[in-house]
Amino acid sequence: MKKGCATVAWSELPKDLLETIARRLQTKTDITRFRSVCKSWRSSVPPYQSPFHFPLLLPYFGSFDQPNTFLSLTQTTLLYLHKSPSSSSSTSTSTLTSWGWLIRLGECLDHDHPLHQHYHLINPFSPLRIRPLPRTFPRTLDSSAFRVCEVAKAYSLRFSDRKVCDYKLAFYPNPKCPSLLVVACGTLWRLKLLGHDNKWRVVDDALSQLNYDDVVLHRGKFYAVDDCGRIVLVDPSSLVVKEFVPRMKTRGGHEMRLATSRKGLLLVDKCITCYNKLEFRLYKLEMERKRLVEVKSLDDHILFLGHDYSFSVSASYFGSRCKGNCIVFADPAFRVYSLGDGKVSPIEQHPEYIAIFYPPSG
């Protein structure tokens, strides 16, 4: 780094500048990498401290008490990793190790050592833990050897017997007013995690009740969608529901999903046509005009539709062979939908996409 005609080492940056940079770091991954640069950077910002320690124990689902029964809220993190090829690698190995991939990690506390965390690998399209680890998965993930980016966080509910609830949910992680919004059997339920009103309540919305498909947290607000594309906005503090976009002209039989992308918040309409063909239609939510505009292309991005999360990532992250403008989803097997020609194919026909979830050995 240059200052006038002199060169200043990164480790000698002014303390106030380091503190300004540190305040903009939001994720544990970013803070950990920042602190690993050098001693002065490490001393300028404390280790990441989460306001919540997962799993969070919650009351039983419903507005009534169920003795000896509870729910737990778990959090998993989607990470993008990239490892540059080493100069000593052979050509074939170099091609593999320069590939980027996605991993999903779950974190839990060590009850015997509360300051220690354990991590485990989660299925990228469901909340289920992967056991045993794939043979090719690196046994050590050194953040100094990998480029690491946090893509998204996903949340799921489990019963006291550890069985995963088949619900869609969004978590508002504000320490002053944490709350949950859940779609269960088409109904919207809400829960405030602090205060005296810590029981599940049905969100009062008669128009779409029993018809909700998905819910997401976007820019500090809850958005929920029903099976006709009607989108409502739910304030995470008051949990008051307001219609944001009216219903679309559909005949039913559609599954609606909400997904975050570089284009903003997307509505994904998954349907079976009259010719028994699977089809996806994408719409961007225009916030100011409160309307949906059809999206014909994702350009170079891949949209991932998991059980409990949806997000998009540039295909360029995963190497030159990987192409964008497609949707990767599980139904229940992994499949790829091309927005260009509308074709659906098993992921086994696309080794470049399989490699996204199965990293080279490390």
In a domain, 51, yes or no: no
Mean pLDDT (whole number) for 23-40:
74
pLDDT at 32: 73
The residues pairing with 193 across neighbouring beta strands, listed in sequence order, are none
Check whether residue 349 and residue 221 sit in a common domain. yes
Report whether pLDDT(355) > 90.
Answer: no
Query: pLDDT tens-digit profile of 261-271?
Result: 888 999 999 99
The mean predicted confidence, pLDDT, of the chain is: 81
pLDDT at 79: 84
Mean pLDDT (whole number) for 72-94:
65
Q: In what order do the strands lie in the sheet with 334-338?
A: 310-314, 301-305, 326-330, 334-338, 344-346
In a domain, 50, yes or no: no
Mean pLDDT (whole number) for 53-70:
73
In a domain, 362, yes or no: no
Using pLDDT thresholds of 50, 70 and 90, give the confidence band for residue 290: very high
Query: pLDDT tens-digit profile of 177-186?
Result: 899 999 998 9
Tokens at 209, concatenated = 């009740």
Check whether residue 103 and residue 124 sit in a common domain. yes
Check whether residue 178 and residue 264 sit in a common domain. yes
- Could you tell me the pTM of the whole model? 0.82
Report whether pLDDT(278) > 60.
Answer: yes
Check whether residue 7 and residue 67 sit in a common domain. no
pLDDT at 243: 94
Check whether residue 237 and residue 306 sit in a common domain. yes
Report whether pLDDT(132) > 70.
Answer: yes
User: CA-to-CA distance for 72 and 165, rounded, in angstroms?
Assistant: 10
pLDDT at 268: 96
Check whether residue 219 and residue 342 sit in a common domain. yes
Check whether residue 108 and residue 17 sit in a common domain. no
Task: Average the pLDDT over each of 40-49, 209-218, 313-322 and give the range with the smallest value.
Answer: 40-49
Structural domains in the chain (count): 2
Using pLDDT thresholds of 50, 70 and 90, give the confidence band for residue 251: low
Report whether pLDDT(89) > 50.
Answer: no
Using pLDDT thresholds of 50, 70 and 90, give the confidence band for residue 6: low
- Which residue has better confidence, 35 or 281? 281
Report whether pLDDT(325) > 90.
Answer: yes
Check whether residue 113 and residue 210 sit in a common domain. yes
Other Cβ atoms less than 10 A from the Cβ of 59: the count is: 16
Express as a percent the part of the chain with pLDDT over 90. 32
pLDDT at 360: 56
In a domain, 8, yes or no: yes
In a domain, 217, yes or no: yes
Check whether residue 34 and residue 97 sit in a common domain. no
Can you give the residue range of the structural domain that contains 14? 2-44
Mean pLDDT (whole number) for 46-60:
82
- Which residue has better confidence, 361 or 62? 62
What one-letter code names the amino acid at 16? Answer: D
pLDDT at 116: 53
Query: pLDDT tens-digit profile of 98-128?
Result: 467 888 888 765 544 444 556 777 777 766 7
In a domain, 49, yes or no: no
Check whether residue 143 and residue 176 sit in a common domain. yes
Report whether pLDDT(294) > 90.
Answer: yes
Using pLDDT thresholds of 50, 70 and 90, give the confidence band for residue 337: very high
Check whether residue 74 and residue 191 sit in a common domain. yes
Tokens at 260, concatenated = 């975050």
Check whether residue 200 and residue 298 sit in a common domain. yes
Task: Average the pLDDT over each of 127-131, 141-145, 330-334 and give the range with the smallest value.
Answer: 141-145
In a domain, 66, yes or no: yes
Query: pLDDT tens-digit profile of 221-242?
Result: 999 999 999 999 999 888 888 9
Angle at which helices 28-35 and 15-23 cross, to 10°: 160
Express as a percent the part of the chain with pLDDT over 70. 80
In a domain, 339, yes or no: yes
- Which residue has better confidence, 361 or 45? 45
pLDDT at 139: 66
